Chain A
């Protein structure tokens, strides 16, 4: 069978970085081809080369047997190669149908034919198994999962033969992922090929047909069978190591420390109700729950980024001013937010300024920053967390996801914070860097820092935390040591509450 897309020895050089250094890939019609690799392995660059956003410096790309070089994303789209990025490029203010046909609206003399557009959109959405999404609905009112479906419909509206999906499951909860898989199966049944990028190996087992693994800009394995290749083998190819997630154990006697955080009957109308828990020094407390269960809202309210309608937050015996981030930070709280780029980082700023931003006063006399001391202190914490590359003046946007997360952690480490709130700390972070992050978090706890961890990945919560709080529908439905509950147990509680 002829391959739909063949990539041979593609090289892409950026000033100072060889992002792709001989990549091979072969995708046949109707398959789900998984692309695996650590952050910085070159996945994003490869996608951009395929979609026409970048031009390859060397190597060959064959599309349906013909050598091609897509100069622009539109050229790739016209040829039938569509890309769905993590940050969906939809226009929130337009309707579903208008988004699907954006740029190629059915029109007469420049006037769009709304009826025809809506009908065509309905057909595409039905084909994707989502006749429930109204074509006239405003896209901004849809959930992340709904927007993804719209993006796929847009790809289909261009008669896409290959759809590249960059971590489509990252913004979805488990029910929505099931739905995504259903849609993907629908597509492949019609002969559309899907290149699926994900950090979750379990997903690849379920949906993938074949796997290509990238490492350091090179292909290290082409077209492995997705279902039968042992996990250890895949992880070894990606990392050069043969371990999966190693969750570090707590040092003996580390978490019988004093109580740091006490949350009492915290309520925010419409989001969560009567939430009470404590975090002790040296303890990692995990919040497990689906997206939309209220877990992120809870921790953001604890941090003061949202104002509670009732209840109190107490740190070291002192009550925090409700809805004041500054009061929380002064009391020793730190947050690594869910959306790293939009909530956590000053992307234009260099690494060291991102680290020092919350403790500038420490490096200032009378409002004047002493740059030498600031840089030295930032470099010291960055080194302790092994932020790479080890150049503190590099703009933070050029770092990989895992290293950006470390920069955020370094910020609070520098401030000597008492309680660290981690909201989805490993989202978009690759397997190798995850293990390292887990170790960093555990070592912080062993030094007496309290950690409040939010994650949609249940194994992560169970592996890393000492105690788990299960959140469902804005309430804590279970609280206890992680040793007393297993993954199916948590999943049960989570799903039960969501159904009820």
Chain B
């Protein structure tokens, strides 16, 4: 493409324009603040949780090992949530993530796969995740089926396939290199946390700095306008589910390392945790708007709550009730923030 050519336009009232521009800048800065406030709200929730933790756990909460423990627990569901954020901003939903984690972990830990060594196991997990994501994506984008239905079907059948591959038995990982992923520390921080951080950074860059990320917002916000603007919305939609599948594959490797097993019960209800984290992170469930940082903060909030309950020896039932309340409270808070921000 060559340089755009100039067009003559009627002269503008310069003074009015400068004034308008100035007030507009102030406004957009204010709007920016409000967007930050939304994420700050979640940071505030984290701070409150930390204070509660310090007050109730007799010094156990604010220890190095407990903080790392929280981060490690957050890392696996966190990676899944990164993929979920892409899908939801792109106007879809992926209910199959938990089942894909299970399927990838089982497939990568069969005796046959393990006999090829750690590298092949990792590649296998990633390919299984991406392949299943591609099936989701193709059915949704080219088969014009509803994402909810397609990924629900995938949830059921992927877990079924995982069960039949493993004969419902837990498969032990005998390759030391895989187990090392969970036990290796670099500079005193577990490798799992580094993987989590790397996925966040890459995810953030792709979402905010790449053409793929831009198109994700466009496709999710207004698919018809995106199509007429020349975006191949079907291919893009299909790719979003591949991204989600890839994240599931990575999470599968991490869970294999952490538990030293592959099992058809891995990743149970991950879909709900991931969707909940994305939503309390401020992403619109209808697509087109959202942030990755919000989703990550959502994951951290949930993981910290779990941690607090474990430290205080409270039953998981109470924990689930608290999670439900937090989801509703977070969404209510965001609604208020949004109406205040929009003139």
- Chain B nearest CB, measured from A87 CB (Å): 15
Q: Interface residue tally of chain B, by bracket? A: 35 or more
Q: Is B332 an interface residue (CB 8 A)?
A: no
**Chain A's nearest CB lies how many Å from the CB of B274?**
22
- Given the complex of chains A and B, what is the CA–CA distance between A353 and B226 in angstroms? 12
A391 to B28, Cβ gap below 8 A?
Answer: yes
Q: Check if A42 is an interface residue, CB within 8 A of chain B.
A: no
A495 contacts partner chain B, Cβ-Cβ < 8 Å: no
A390 and B225 contact, Cβ closer than 8 Å, known pairs A17-B343, A346-B217? no
The listed residue (B10, B27, B31, B214) touching A357 by CB distance below 8 A is B214
Contacts of A71 in B (CB 8 A): none
The residue in chain B whose Cβ has the minimal distance to the Cβ of A303 is B228
Across-interface contacts of B10 in A (CB, < 8 A): 386, 436, 439
- Complex Cα gap A415–B3 (Å): 9
B1, B4, B205, B230 interface centre (most CB from chain A within 10 Å) = B230
* Range for the number of chain A residues in contact with chain B: 35 or more
A253 contacts chain B at the CB level, 8 A cutoff: no
Residue in chain A with minimal CB distance to B4: A416
B210 at the interface (CB under 8 A from A): yes
Which residues of B are found within 8 Å of A275, using beta-carbon distances? none
List residues of chain A with CB within 8 A of the CB of B343.
Answer: 14-17, 398
A357 touches B226 (CB 8 A): yes
Instruction: Map CB proximity to B onto A326-351 as digits: 1 under 8 Å, 0 otherwise.
Output: 10010000010100001111111100
Of A126-134, A364-372, A453-461, A483-491, the one contacting chain B is A364-372
Residues of A within 8 A of B31 (CB): 395
Answer whether residue B23 sits at the interface, using C-beta atoms and an 8 A cutoff.
Answer: yes
Which residues in B have their C-beta under 8 angstroms from that of A329? Answer: 230
Q: Is B276 an interface residue (CB 8 A)?
A: no
Is A384 touching B9 in the complex (CB atoms < 8 A)?
Answer: yes
Instruction: Contact check, A344 vs B24: say whether CB atoms are below 8 A apart.
Output: no
Q: How far is the CA of A384 from the CA of B19 in the complex (A)?
A: 18
B229 within 8 Å of A (CB atoms) = yes
> Which one of B17, B28, B211, B232 contacts A360 once the chains associate, using CB atoms below 8 Å?
B211
Q: How many Å lie between the Cα of A364 and that of B27 in the bound state?
A: 29
Alpha-carbon gap, A367 to B212, bound state (A): 7
Nearest A residue to B290, CB-CB: A348
Q: Is the CB of B221 within 8 A of A346?
A: yes
B323 in the interface (beta carbon within 8 A): no
Given the known A-B contacts A346-B217, A369-B214, are A443 and B288 also in contact in the complex, defined by CB atoms under 8 Å?
no
Q: A343-B228, A349-B288, A391-B24 are in contact. List 9 more A-B contacts (CB 8 A).
A: A348-B289, A353-B217, A362-B1, A367-B210, A386-B9, A388-B20, A389-B20, A390-B20, A443-B7
Q: Give the interface of A toward B (CB within 8 A).
A: 14-17, 303, 305, 325-326, 329, 335, 337, 342-349, 353, 357-362, 364, 367-369, 371, 377, 380-381, 384-386, 388-391, 393-395, 398, 411, 413-416, 436, 439-440, 443-444, 447
Going nearest first, the 6 A-B pairs with the smallest beta carbon separation are: A391-B24, A14-B343, A329-B230, A389-B24, A390-B21, A16-B27
